[in-house]
Chains A and B, each alone.
Chain A
Amino acid sequence: MDAILENLPLYWEGLLRTLFLSTVSGVIALVLGTLLAAARVSPVAALRGFSTTYVEILRNTPLTIAFFFSAVVLPRLGVTFEQFEVAAIIALSAYTAAFIAEAVRSGVNSVHIGQAEAARSIGMKFSQVLSLIILPQALRTVIPPLINILIALVKNSSVAGAFLVLELFGYGRQLANTYGDQVMAVLLGVAFFYLLITVPLGILASTVERKVAISR
C-alpha cells in the first residue's frame, strides 16, 4: 500500500494524462468518424469507396500496429513529433474513428425509411436530409454503442504508455520498476484508477440504452 499512498500525486497525474489523451482522441475520432459515416452513405461513389476502404483496413488493424506506425515508422518517413503524445493521439483517433464510423452508419440504417422519404418529399436536399433529419435521430440510437467505444478508447490509451507516453499505464510501469517488492499493489492501484473512469461510463451507457429502448 505504501507505494500507492506515497505516489498518489503520480497516479493523479497519470489519470489526468489518460483523460487528456482519451478526450482529445475521442473528439477527433467523433468528428472524423461522423464524416466517414456521411461519406459512406453519400451519393458520390468515390467517397463511399474511400470510406469503406478506410473502415475495413483500420478495423482489422491491431492497435499496436497503428501505434507502431505512428510512433516508429512515421518519424523515419520525415514526419517528426515534438512529443510522443502527438503520435499517440494520431494512432488512437485514426483507429477509433473507424469504429465510430461503423456505429454511426448502423445508426443511420436504423432510422425509419419514412423519415427520409418525408424529408425528401418536402424538397430537402441530401445534405439537409442527412444533417437535419437522419443524423440527429441516428445519433440518439448510437449513443450507447458510442459510449462503449469511448470506454474501449480509455482502455486502449494504455498502449500509449508502452510507447513512452506517461499516462496511467506508463507511470504504473515506472512505479513497478521502482517498487520491485510491491508490484502487485502498484498495478492494482493502476487498475483502480482505470475502473474509476470505465465503470461510471459503463453504467451511463446502460442507463441511456434503457431510456432509448423505451422510447422506440
Chain B
Amino acid sequence: MSSVLYDVPGPKARRVSLIGSVVGSLVILGLLAWIIMTLAQQGIFEGRRWAIFTRADVWLLLGNGLGATLTAAALAAVIAFPLGLMLCLLRISDVAAIRIPTRVVLEFLRGMPVVLMMFFVLLVFGTNAFTAVVAGLVLYNSAVFSEIIRAGIQSLPKGQREAGLTIGLTSFQSRMIIELPQAVRRMMPSLVAQLVVLLKDTSLGYIVAYGELLRAVQVMADFLGTAFLFPVFFVAAGIYIAVNICVSRIAVWIERRGTKKAAGGVAKAEPEPIEAAAP
C-alpha cells in the first residue's frame, strides 16, 4: 500500500533512500547502544543478576503468575461473552422500556475505567482479589462485546430479519436463529481483538493485589532484592508481550480467513477493527 505514496524509485532516489536507511539505522542503533551502555553501567548485565533464571523456584513463581493471569482472563471471557449476547438482545429489544435502561447501563459500564470497577467490587462487596478482577473484567467486556455484536447485527441487510418474520418466526427467534449467528461471525475479528484487550487488562489485577504475573515480579523483587528487578521484569514483560502477540495473530488469521470466504460469495464484514480494539 505504501508504494502508492511515492514513484517506483529511480537510481537517484534509491541512493537517497539507501543513505536514509543507513543513517536511520545508525541513529536507531546508536540509541540502542546508548540504552545498553546506560544499563550496563547500572550493572544490569552482570551474570549473577541473570543467574536467578537457572533457579526452578523463580520460574515456578513466574509460571504461577502467568497461570493466574490466564485463569482470570479465560474465566472473564467465558462469562462476558454470553452476558454480552444477552445485553445486546436487550439493547435492541422492540420494547422501549427494556431498550432504554439497558442502553443507560451499557453507557455507564463503557465509560468507566476497568480498575475502578475492580476496586468497587473489591471494597463494596468485600470479595477477594480474584473475584474482583474477574467481575471488573466481565462488567466492562460484556458491555463492549454487546456493542460489537450490535454493530454486527446492524450491518446485516434488513431483508434477513424481514424474511425471518415473514416465515412466521417470532422476533426473538429471528434474532437467535438468523441474525446473531451471522453477526457473531462477521464480528469475529473484532471480538478476538477485544480478547487481547481483556487479556491485557488482567494486569490491572496488580493494582488490587491479585497475584498475577506483574505481582509475581514485584514479590520476587521484594524478596530477592531490587538488583533483580530489571531481569525479572524484563522476562515477565517478554512473556506478556509474547502471549498477546499470539492472540493478536489469531485475530489477524481469522480476519484473513473471513476475507477468503468473502471472495467465495459470503458478504464481507464492514472493517471496524480500530474502534473495537481501542486500548
The chain A residues found within 8 Å of chain B, CB to CB, are 40-48, 50, 56-57, 59-65, 68-69, 72-73, 76-78, 95-96, 99, 102-103, 106, 108-109, 113, 116-117, 120, 126, 129-130, 134, 142, 144-145, 148-149, 151-153, 155-156, 158-159, 161-162, 169, 172-173, 176, 183-184, 187, 190-191, 194-195, 198-199, 202
Q: Chain B contact residues: over half helix, strand or loop, or mixed?
A: helix
Residues in B neighbouring A57, C-beta threshold 8 A: 241
With A61-B241, A126-B5, A195-B112 known as contacts, the answer to whether A50 contacts B24 (CB < 8 A) is yes
Q: Report the separation of the CA atoms of residues A198 and B279 in the bound assembly, to the nearest whole angstrom.
A: 14
Q: B67 near A: Cβ within 8 Å?
A: no
Q: Report the separation of the CA atoms of residues A145 and B274 in the bound assembly, to the nearest whole angstrom.
A: 6
A68→B233 contact, CB < 8 A: yes
Residues in A neighbouring B28, C-beta threshold 8 A: 46, 50
Residues in A neighbouring B275, C-beta threshold 8 A: 144-145, 148
**Which residues from 215 to 245 on chain B have a C-beta closer than 8 Å to any C-beta of chain A?**
217, 226, 229-230, 233, 236-237, 240-241, 244-245
- CB-CB nearest in chain A for B124: A184
A149→B279 contact, CB < 8 A: yes
A62→B7 contact, CB < 8 A: no
Q: B9 near A: Cβ within 8 Å?
A: yes
Q: B53 near A: Cβ within 8 Å?
A: no
B200→A62 contact, CB < 8 A: yes
Determine which of B23, B217, B245, B279 lies in contact with A99 in the assembled complex, contact meaning CB atoms within 8 Å.
B279
* New A-B pairs, 10, CB < 8 Å, besides A116-B5, A151-B111: A43-B13, A46-B20, A46-B24, A60-B196, A60-B244, A60-B245, A65-B236, A130-B5, A159-B115, A173-B119
Residues in B neighbouring A99, C-beta threshold 8 A: 278-279
Q: Report the separation of the CA atoms of residues A156 and B207 in the bound assembly, to the nearest whole angstrom.
A: 13
Q: Report the separation of the CA atoms of residues A65 and B244 in the bound assembly, to the nearest whole angstrom.
A: 13
Q: B141 near A: Cβ within 8 Å?
A: no
With a 10 A CB-CB cut-off, give which of A68, A69, A199 has the most chain B CB atoms.
A68
Q: How many residues of B contact A (CB 8 A)?
A: 59
* 9 A-B pairs with C-beta separation under 8 A: A44-B24, A46-B28, A62-B201, A64-B214, A65-B214, A126-B5, A149-B278, A172-B116, A187-B120
A194→B112 contact, CB < 8 A: yes
Q: B145 near A: Cβ within 8 Å?
A: no
A63→B206 contact, CB < 8 A: no
A120→B6 contact, CB < 8 A: yes
Residues in A neighbouring B42, C-beta threshold 8 A: 76-78
Residues in B neighbouring A76, C-beta threshold 8 A: 42, 226, 229-230
**Which residues from 230 to 265 on chain B have a C-beta closer than 8 Å to any C-beta of chain A?**
230, 233, 236-237, 240-241, 244-245, 248
- CB-CB nearest in chain A for B208: A162
- Sorted nearest first, the 9 A-B pairs with minimum C-beta distance are A46-B24, A62-B203, A158-B113, A60-B244, A198-B111, A64-B203, A162-B207, A44-B20, A62-B200
